[in-house]
């Protein structure tokens, strides 16, 4: 069977001439009625969406940002996946775009897993692999709901952990969105929180306020991960004074007389860690100081930096994040952190750019040595947020610089190995480079469609992806019947990126796809997928279009038909816009998710034919292995 083809140039010219008369009206109406995002921080250019975000045939509901990557020393790059959670606003009244979710990427910036289907568009923070009770788990803080989600390696949400102070004297309890850290082989978890409280007149007098200053006092809880019950609680009230803060720009009365939801955030803890002896390390951004807190009595053992530093510092840092214990012995501690050098207080900057720092603290002489400095590659400031992480099993530093989610990998000598940043202007609080094995509970996503090629033959295009699977190395495609009882291997193709595409000569009514790991072992359970359109539909299309060439070769008829079709199309489109304006006011990503969630599998196949047609606009480059035919069949999307 062949679909007859002829020259339609006269028809196309007529259609284009009439279409151009109403194209501008359509574009204006569509733009005004279908704004993609209402982003309150970064304005995204919708015309660059396909360039800046991934789009997949098998998963049209995903919207993961793409990367620009520069590798300076490929041989030195440490193994691991990137754990990133781009976000909109910390305080959100409603969910936002599908990119506003936790994501995992590989070393090439290819998407491995998107959490958009599990998370509802509210911001997610501190997304990483954590040791929970001796098992690797994904953990992510969800400030909107005030809990930390815990996912196993099948991406099943197994627990949600929420904790707060129980003291009725406090004005409330807030969830600290900065960090959820497991320690001691996953048997304990450190969870920060924040609480408004009216300071005593004695504490308030330290800053010259006559009365009880209303301020936010940060603290933390240590939890037993078996029961999630607190084993230790601490709050900064009575230990860290209001006079340690550099955030003093507002008049004293404004700072101390705020309401419960708008109190003076004078300390703002943003990271926590634990010493071998049970003490704790906390970072206070507005105080430009890092604190060691005694496990025994809650007192401040020492301060590093700030107005009351116990150490003789050779440098100045400010607005710091992610203070961590790199190593320790009896009288020497290695502490690393991101020196934002850009604080919320005065002075605003303390260095010519942000940097990562590794400091050696001598607790006998109370002196500090700068062991290593990791410079911002652009010589700029990370005005807030960000983190420095040591890549496990290496001496490499991994730094997230927030803007455009830029992160860099550095060798022990400080040299730059790799840098990556989002193509779009979205930001990220922290990123991590960690090992992970993902084995999704859900099966792979497969779409199969038949197309007519330029040489009048039929080919079947199969699209395959598996959100979160890290072990897939190849896909095996079988021709089968609707029940999947009779199978014939027709192609084997290497996995390429998140979604792999293969072109197979001939029509396959049903396909069965299996994922294979590096050892040739099959992963998961295969499913049968019907190809659309059916062979009968292709035959009907051939018979229906057989009379068209004789008509369209007449220039006058072609012109008239083109005019009628274009005017009717424009009027119809305008009518849809007017009648459906309420629906079109939803962002496109939201409509895509709603459509995808509501369709049956068969309908999903049909609805995606239009998206797949772009793959047939040009002959693909083909390579790979087909059973029974050498060197024909694979095309990368």
CATH number, domain with residue 575: 2.60.40.10
pLDDT band at 564 (very low <50, low <70, confident <90, very high): confident
Strands (E), 40-110: 67-71, 81-87, 103-105
Q: What is the predicted pLDDT for the residue at 623?
A: 36
In a domain, 258, yes or no: no
Residues 6+ away with beta carbon under 8 Å from 528:
480, 482, 483, 484, 510, 511, 512
CA distance 143 to 46: 28
Given a contact cutoff of 8 angstroms between Cβ atoms, the answer to whether 356 and 397 are in contact is yes
Structural domain of 522: 9-33+440-634
- Can you say how many angstroms the Cα of residue 514 is from the centroid of all Cα atoms in its chain? 27
Q: What's the mean per-residue pLDDT of the chain? A: 84
Q: What is the predicted pLDDT for the residue at 594?
A: 60
Q: What is the predicted pLDDT for the residue at 361?
A: 98
pLDDT tens readout for residues 243-267:
999 999 899 999 999 887 789 999 9
Tokens of 538: 């292709």
CA distance 618 to 636: 13
In a domain, 560, yes or no: yes
Q: What is the predicted pLDDT for the residue at 162?
A: 87
Q: What is the predicted pLDDT for the residue at 457?
A: 87
Range picked from 474-488, 578-592, 598-612 for highest mean pLDDT? 474-488
Lowest mean pLDDT among 123-127, 138-142, 392-396, 617-621: 617-621
Lowest mean pLDDT among 86-90, 143-147, 403-407, 535-539: 535-539
Q: What is the predicted pLDDT for the residue at 345?
A: 87
CA distance 96 to 36: 10
pLDDT at 5 over 60: no
Domain count, the chain: 1
In a domain, 356, yes or no: no
pLDDT tens readout for residues 155-188:
999 999 987 555 556 566 667 889 999 999 999 9
Q: What is the predicted pLDDT for the residue at 289?
A: 98
Enclosing H/E stretch for 582: helix 581-584
Q: What is the predicted pLDDT for the residue at 601?
A: 52
pLDDT band at 634 (very low <50, low <70, confident <90, very high): very low
pLDDT band at 88 (very low <50, low <70, confident <90, very high): confident
How many other β-carbons are positioned within 10 Å of the β-carbon of residue 429?
26
In a domain, 426, yes or no: no
In a domain, 499, yes or no: yes
Q: In this structure, what are the phi and psi dihedrals at residue 269, rounded to the nearest 5 degrees? A: -60, 135
Lowest mean pLDDT among 149-153, 241-245, 616-620: 616-620
In a domain, 488, yes or no: yes
Q: Please give the model's pTM, rounded to 2 decimal places.
A: 0.81
CA distance 72 to 482: 51
Q: What is the predicted pLDDT for the residue at 576?
A: 52
Q: 3-state DSSP call for residue 564?
A: helix
In a domain, 628, yes or no: yes
Q: What is the predicted pLDDT for the residue at 589?
A: 56
Strands 147-151 and 135-142: antiparallel
Please name the residue that has the structure tokens 């983190």: 387
Q: Edge-to-edge strand order for the sheet containing 111-114?
A: 111-114, 103-105, 81-87, 427-434
Q: What is the predicted pLDDT for the residue at 637?
A: 39
Please name the residue that has the structure tokens 């320790």: 328
pLDDT band at 504 (very low <50, low <70, confident <90, very high): very high
Enclosing H/E stretch for 273: strand 269-274
Per DSSP, 349 falls in state: B
pLDDT at 578 over 60: no
Kindly give the interhelix angle for 555-579 and 9-33, rounded to the nearest 10 degrees.
10
Lowest mean pLDDT among 45-59, 94-108, 158-172: 158-172
pLDDT tens readout for residues 469-487:
999 999 999 999 999 999 9
Strand partners, 489: 478
Q: 3-state DSSP call for residue 25?
A: helix
- Sign of CA pseudo-dihedral 96, 97, 99, 102: positive
pLDDT at 604 over 60: no
In a domain, 202, yes or no: no
Strands (E), 367-509: 367-375, 387-390, 397-400, 407-410, 416-422, 427-434, 445-452, 458-465, 474-480, 487-494, 499-505
- Average pLDDT of the segment spanning 511-534: 94
Q: What is the predicted pLDDT for the residue at 78?
A: 97
pLDDT at 386 over 80: yes
Q: What is the predicted pLDDT for the residue at 83?
A: 98
Residue 602 or residue 488, greater confidence: 488
Give the closest residue to 86 by CA, choosing from 409, 499, 434, 403.
403
pLDDT at 336 over 70: yes
pLDDT band at 10 (very low <50, low <70, confident <90, very high): very low
Enclosing H/E stretch for 322: strand 321-328
């Amino acid at each position: 069977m062949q679909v007859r083809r002829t020259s339609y140039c006269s028809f196309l010219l007529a259609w284009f001439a009439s279409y151009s008369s109403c194209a501008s009206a359509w574009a204006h109406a569509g733009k005004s009625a279908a704004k993609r995002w209402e982003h309150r921080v970064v304005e995204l250019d919708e015309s660059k969406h396909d360039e800046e975000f991934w789009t997949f045939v098998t998963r049209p509901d995903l919207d993961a940002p793409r990367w620009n990557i520069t590798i300076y020393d490929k041989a030195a790059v440490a193994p691991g996946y990137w754990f990133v959670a781009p976000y909109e606003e910390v305080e959100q009244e409603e969910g936002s775009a599908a990119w506003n979710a936790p994501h995992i990427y590989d070393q090439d910036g290819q998407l491995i897993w998107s959490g958009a289907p599990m998370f509802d568009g509210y911001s997610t923070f501190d997304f990483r692999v954590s040791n929970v009770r001796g098992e690797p788990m994904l953990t992510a803080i969800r400030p909107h709901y005030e809990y930390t989600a815990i996912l196993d390696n099948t991406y099943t949400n197994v627990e949600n952990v929420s904790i707060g102070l129980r003291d009725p004297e406090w004005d409330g309890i807030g969830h600290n969105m900065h960090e959820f850290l497991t320690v001691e082989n996953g048997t304990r978890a450190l969870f920060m929180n924040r609480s408004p409280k009216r300071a005593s007149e004695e504490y308030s007098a330290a800053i010259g306020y006559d009365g009880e200053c209303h301020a936010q006092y940060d603290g933390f809880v240590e939890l037993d991960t078996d029961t999630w019950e607190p084993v230790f609680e601490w709050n900064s009230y009575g230990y860290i004074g209001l006079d340690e803060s550099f955030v003093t720009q507002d008049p004293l009365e404004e700072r101390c007389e705020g309401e419960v939801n708008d109190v003076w955030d004078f300390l703002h803890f943003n990271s926590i860690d634990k010493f071998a002896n049970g003490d704790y390390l906390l970072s206070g951004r507005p105080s430009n100081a890092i604190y060691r807190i005694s496990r025994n009595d809650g007192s401040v053992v020492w301060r590093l930096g700030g107005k009351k530093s116990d150490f003789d510092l050779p440098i100045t840092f400010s607005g710091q994040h992610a203070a961590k214990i790199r190593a320790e012995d009896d009288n020497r501690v290695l502490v690393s952190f991101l020196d934002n050098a850009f604080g919320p207080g005065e002075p605003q900057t303390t260095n010519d750019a942000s940097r990562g720092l590794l400091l050696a603290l001598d607790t006998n002489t109370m002196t500090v040595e700068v062991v290593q400095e990791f410079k911002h590659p652009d010589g700029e400031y990370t005005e807030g947020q960000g983190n420095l992480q040591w890549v496990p099993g290496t001496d490499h530093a991994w730094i997230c610089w927030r803007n455009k989610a830029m992160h860099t990998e550095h060798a022990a000598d400080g040299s730059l190995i790799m840098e990556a940043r989002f193509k779009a202007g979205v930001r990220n609080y922290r990123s991590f480079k960690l090992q992970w094995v993902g084995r999704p509970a859900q099966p792979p996503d497969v779409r199969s469609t038949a197309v007519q090629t330029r040489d009048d033959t039929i080919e079947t295009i199969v699209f395959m992806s598996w959100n979160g699977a890290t072990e897939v190395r190849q896909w095996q495609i079988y021709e089968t019947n609707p029940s999947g009882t009779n199978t014939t291997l027709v192609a084997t193709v290497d996995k390429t990126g998140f979604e792999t595409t293969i072109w197979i000569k001939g029509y396959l009514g049903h396909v069965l796809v299996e994922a294979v790991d590096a050892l040739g072992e099959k992963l998961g359970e295969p499913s049968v997928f019907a190809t659309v359109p059916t062979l009968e539909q292709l035959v009907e299309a051939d018979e229906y279009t057989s009379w068209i060439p004789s008509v369209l070769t007449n220039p006058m008829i072609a012109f008239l038909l083109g005019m009628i079709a274009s005017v009717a199309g424009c009027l119809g489109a305008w009518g849809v816009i007017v009648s459906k304006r309420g629906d079109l006011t939803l962002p496109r990503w939201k409509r895509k998710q709603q459509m995808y969630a509501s369709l049956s599998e068969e309908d999903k196949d049909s609805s995606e034919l239009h998206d797949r047609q772009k793959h047939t606009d040009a002959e693909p480059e083909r390579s790979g292995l087909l059973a029974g035919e050498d060197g024909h069949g694979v095309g990368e999307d």
